[in-house]
Structures are given as C-alpha cells and as structure tokens.
Amino acid sequence: MLFQLGGPLSFGAAKIISQRMAIVKDYQALVLDLSEVPSIGVTAALAIETMVEDAVKRQRHVWIVVTPGQVQRRIEKLKLQRFSAAANSLNGQTDSMRSPQIYQIETRFQALQSALASVQPEIPLTTTTIDP
C-alpha cells in the first residue's frame, strides 16, 4: 500500500493519518511517502510511529520515503527500528525476508520497486526496450 503525504504535517494531520489507516487492513507492504513533506510536528510524527508499529505487528515490511532535512531527523528520533527488532525477537525470527523490516529510502520509485519485489519476488523488475 502506498500512503503518500504532502505539505506540512501538524496536529490536524495526525487524526487524518490515524483515520485513514484504520480503514485499510488488508495490505502486504507499506510504503510511507513523506518526500513532499517539508516539516512534521510531534503529534503527526507519533501518528506515523503508530502506523509503522501496527504494520510491523501485522508482519508487514515498511518503506519510509524521506529526503534529508527536518522530517528525516524527526523520523530518525523515533527510532522506528525498535519495532522491527522487537517483533523479530518475539517471533524468534532471524530471516529478514520473513520477519518485518523497516527501511528508510530517499525515492518513491526505489521504495515501490523494493516493496513489489518483497511481495511478488517471482516478477522480474527489469525493463525491456522494444525497437520499432
């Protein structure tokens, strides 16, 4: 599932984020695109933290698309990897392909490509050029 956010995220956005995620339960991977978010408040960051924690509890991989700056620093302060480590230790899993992982990446394309490969590994991700 691609969850794309844009513009500054503050207190008001936190409620909307939570409501939208409550609607969707059936997904295999979460790509959280914050690349167009110039700033993020504490409450919105905590809503994102909850979103990531819920995905990991559901055994879903998470890709967070974030560019260098205030948003990246705020996301890093959340130490989201702790959810992945906790889920892995609770489940006794050491295989990163089966246990939920959290990735931080800079482009939406890379995140979507990686997410697709994780949920459908049999589909090749190469492109072919056909000459007319």
**pLDDT band, very low/low/confident/very high, at 65 (cuts 50, 70, 90):** very high
Instruction: Give the separation between CA 130 and CA 132, rounded to whole angstroms.
Output: 6
What is the percent of the chain with per-residue pLDDT over 90, rounded to a whole number?
A: 53
Query: Residue 74 contacts by C-beta under 8 Å, 6 or more apart in sequence?
Result: 40, 42, 45
Where do we find the tokens 């979507």?
112
Paired sense of beta strands 61-65 and 2-6, if any: unpaired
Q: Higher pLDDT residue, 124 or 71? A: 71
| pLDDT in the model for residue 123 | 60
Instruction: Give the separation between CA 19 and CA 25, rounded to whole angstroms.
Output: 12
Closest by Cα among 59, 52, 67, 31 to 44: 52
**pLDDT band, very low/low/confident/very high, at 89 (cuts 50, 70, 90):** low
What architecture (CATH level 2) is domain 2-117?
A: 2-Layer Sandwich (3.30)
State residue 94 phi and psi, 5-degree precision.
Answer: -125, -10
Q: Which residues of 62-76 are buried (b: 16+ CB within 10 A; e: fewer)?
A: bbbbbeeeebbebbe
| pLDDT in the model for residue 132 | 52
- pTM value is 0.80
| pLDDT in the model for residue 49 | 93
Look up residue 30 and give its DSSP letter: E
Record the tokens describing residue 82, joined without a space: 């702790």
- Is 70 exceeded by the pLDDT of residue 11? yes
